[in-house]
């Protein structure tokens, strides 16, 4: 088969950052290739380089043998490339039919009137993507899945040789994913070359012919979905290493009500569903890990629990419903989140950041708590008078956790605490969590993509995938029962 898209030696630098380094791959006619990698791996930059949104420093992009690297986007589109954006960008004052018709109009200011042929072609495309029954509706009235279909319709309206699809399944339900997958397969059957950009191996495995995996701007694996999922480098990148668990002393359990109970919680961002009927229970004193890839919904779940985003369903903490309570009220009641973004006050010192966490305590109680935290994270005592923004990434993470603990929480939520940290810092955080478990009665809910870090600190594990809980159980069962699913 002919290679409709050929990428060779593609490199892109942003200042001193090499976002894409010497990347080469091809997509043939009638082939679907998945370009996958964790967030920050460079896959979106590759897509922008192919589409002309960014210009490469070096390398080649050829469409049906013609060199297009560095061309402006509109010329690349004319050469035969269509892009399906992750986030819909419709014209809101035009109907679905008019949005599709606009993509069919010729590139001439002298020919902006749509004739009968354009209208019929637009209707045919709408039927092909499942929009025949909503042609007269406006985008604002459509469900999220139909907005995605309209983006796809606009991208393929000009019959491109190459179709680029960015995060095709983000925000879709399981049934909608199946429908959208079937739709993408029709482009393979029509002879298009399709490049799917996604962070999830499993999400595209059943759909693609081959997978090209990236990490930190470089190729790390290429082959069938099965081969890539077995690749040790891919597993190390996604999971943090070999899936393992630690032998942990059992927690005493009682029949008392759970400290935290999440029941059938769903969250929408606009029309995109970020959580779908998620339920979990955590008993007092438990360490529970929620593992899943970036974009699975971990942060959304934690923000719903903490009162930061609206949700459907029920969340109860210490037998009290949290609906209608502000995030500040929830935190003062003993449910405290340490966010992935840390949210430190950069110009304030380590001590001042800690004192903000303990502001409702007496001076004596605050001093006692601060000394205990310095014993947990000794480096913070050494940095006590230093501005938070001057700390290393690992030191900032320790300070963020210490500030959350300064509030004396009953339940501490840790969102991706290992993100971007060196192994030596991970070891320090691991020791601190073990100290918390062995010397306090605190309850911890840990959200992690790094499974290697999450499992040794877990009494129980939930696996979150595409906005839903897909597995629950003991850490020692995870590798056998759900390990492959984490990719």
Write the DSSP string, 118-167.
HHHHHHHHHHHHT-GGGTTS-GGGS-HHHHHHHHHHHHHTT--SEEEEES
**Residue with the larger pLDDT of the pair 107 and 77:** 77
**CA-closest candidate to residue 11, choices 66, 67, 61, 83:** 61
- What average pLDDT score do residues 362-385 get? 91
CB 447 within 8 A of CB 288: no
Using one digit for the tens of pLDDT, what is the confidence trace for 295-321? Answer: 788 999 999 999 999 999 999 999 899
Using one digit for the tens of pLDDT, what is the confidence trace for 318-359? Answer: 989 999 999 999 999 999 999 988 889 888 999 999 998 888
- What average pLDDT score do residues 189-194 get? 90
Residue 252 has pLDDT above 50, yes or no: no
The region of weakest confidence among 6-15, 98-107, 143-152, 320-329 is 98-107
**CA-closest candidate to residue 107, choices 79, 149, 137, 71:** 79
- What average pLDDT score do residues 22-26 get? 94
How many helices and strands, by DSSP H and E, does the chain display?
18, 20
The per-residue pLDDT for 303 is 95
Please name the helix (run of DSSP H) or strand (run of DSSP E) that holds residue 370, with its range, or none.
Answer: helix 363-376
Residue 354: half-sphere exposure toward Cβ, Cα within 13 Å: 30
- What average pLDDT score do residues 26-44 get? 87
Question: Phi first, then psi: what are they for 486, rounded to 5°?
Answer: -70, -15
- What average pLDDT score do residues 45-56 get? 92
**CATH superfamily membership of 243-334+409-487:** P-loop containing nucleotide triphosphate hydrolases (3.40.50.300)
> In the numeric block, which tokens belong to residue 310?
């609206």
What are the extents of the domains in the chain?
A: 3-239, 243-334+409-487, 345-408
> In the numeric block, which tokens belong to residue 237?
């990148």
pTM of the model: 0.64
Q: Do domains 3-239 and 243-334+409-487 have the same CATH topology?
A: yes
The region of weakest confidence among 294-303, 347-356, 395-404, 450-459 is 450-459
Contacts (Cβ under 8 Å, ≥6 apart) of 376: 402, 405, 432, 435, 436
Using one digit for the tens of pLDDT, what is the confidence trace for 226-247? Answer: 888 888 888 776 655 554 555 4
Residue 423 has pLDDT above 80, yes or no: no
Residue 442 has pLDDT above 50, yes or no: yes
Confidence tier at 142 by pLDDT (50, 70, 90): confident
Q: Return the residue matching tokens 């035009």.
A: 94
CATH entry 3.40.50.300 includes domain 3-239 = yes
CA dist 347 and 394 (Å) reads 17
């Amino acid at each position: 088969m002919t290679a409709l898209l050929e990428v060779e030696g593609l490199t892109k630098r942003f200042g001193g950052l090499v976002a894409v380094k010497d990347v080469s791959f091809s997509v043939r006619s009638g082939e679907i290739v998945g370009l996958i990698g964790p967030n920050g791996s460079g896959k979106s930059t590759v897509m922008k380089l192919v589409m002309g949104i960014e210009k490469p420093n070096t390398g080649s992009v050829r469409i049906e043998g013609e060199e297009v690297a560095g061309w402006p986007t509109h010329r690349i589109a004319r050469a035969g490339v269509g892009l399906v954006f992750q986030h819909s960008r419709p014209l809101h004052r035009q109907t679905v039919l008019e949005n599709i018709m606009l993509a069919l109009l010729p590139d001439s200011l002298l020919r902006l009137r749509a004739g009968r042929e354009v209208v019929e072609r637009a209707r045919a495309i709408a039927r092909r993507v499942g929009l025949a029954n909503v042609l007269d509706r406006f985008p604002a009235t459509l469900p999220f899945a139909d907005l995605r279909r309209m983006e796809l319709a606009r991208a393929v309206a000009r019959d491109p040789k190459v179709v680029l699809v960015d995060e095709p399944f983000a925000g879709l339900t399981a049934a909608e994913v199946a429908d959208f997958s079937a739709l993408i397969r029709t482009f393979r059957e029509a002879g298009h070359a399709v490049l799917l950009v996604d962070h999830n191996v499993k999400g595209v495995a059943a759909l693609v012919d081959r997978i090209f995996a990236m990490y930190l701007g470089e190729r790390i694996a290429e082959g069938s979905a099965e081969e890539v999922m077995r690749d040790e480098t891919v597993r190390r990148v996604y999971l943090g290493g070999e899936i393992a668990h630690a032998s942990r002393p059992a927690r005493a359990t009682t029949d008392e009500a759970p400290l935290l109970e999440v029941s059938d919680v769903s969250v929408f961002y606009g029309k995109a569903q970020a959580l779908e009927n998620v339920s979990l229970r955590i008993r007092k004193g438990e360490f529970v890990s929620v593992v899943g890839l970036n974009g699975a919904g971990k942060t959304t779940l934690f923000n719903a629990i903490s009162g930061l985003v609206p949700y459907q369903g029920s969340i109860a903490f210490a037998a009290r419903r949290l609906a209608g309570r502000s995030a500040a009220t929830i935190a003062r009641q003993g449910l405290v989140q340490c966010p992935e973004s840390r949210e430190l006050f950069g110009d304030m010192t380590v001590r001042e950041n800690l004192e903000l966490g303990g502001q409702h305590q007496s001076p004596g109680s605050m001093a006692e708590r601060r000394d205990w935290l310095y014993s947990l994270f000794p480096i913070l005592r050494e940095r006590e008078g230093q501005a938070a923004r001057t700390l290393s990434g690992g030191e900032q993470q320790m300070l963020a956790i210490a500030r959350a603990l300064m509030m004396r929480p009953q339940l501490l939520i840790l969102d991706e605490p290992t993100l971007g940290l060196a192994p030596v810092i991970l070891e320090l955080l691991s020791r601190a969590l073990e100290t918390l478990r062995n010397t306090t009665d605190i309850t911890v809910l840990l959200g992690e993509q790094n499974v290697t870090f999450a499992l040794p600190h877990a009494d129980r594990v939930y696996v979150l995938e595409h906005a839903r809980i897909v597995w629950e159980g003991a850490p020692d069962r995870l590798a056998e029962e759900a390990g492959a699913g984490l990719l």
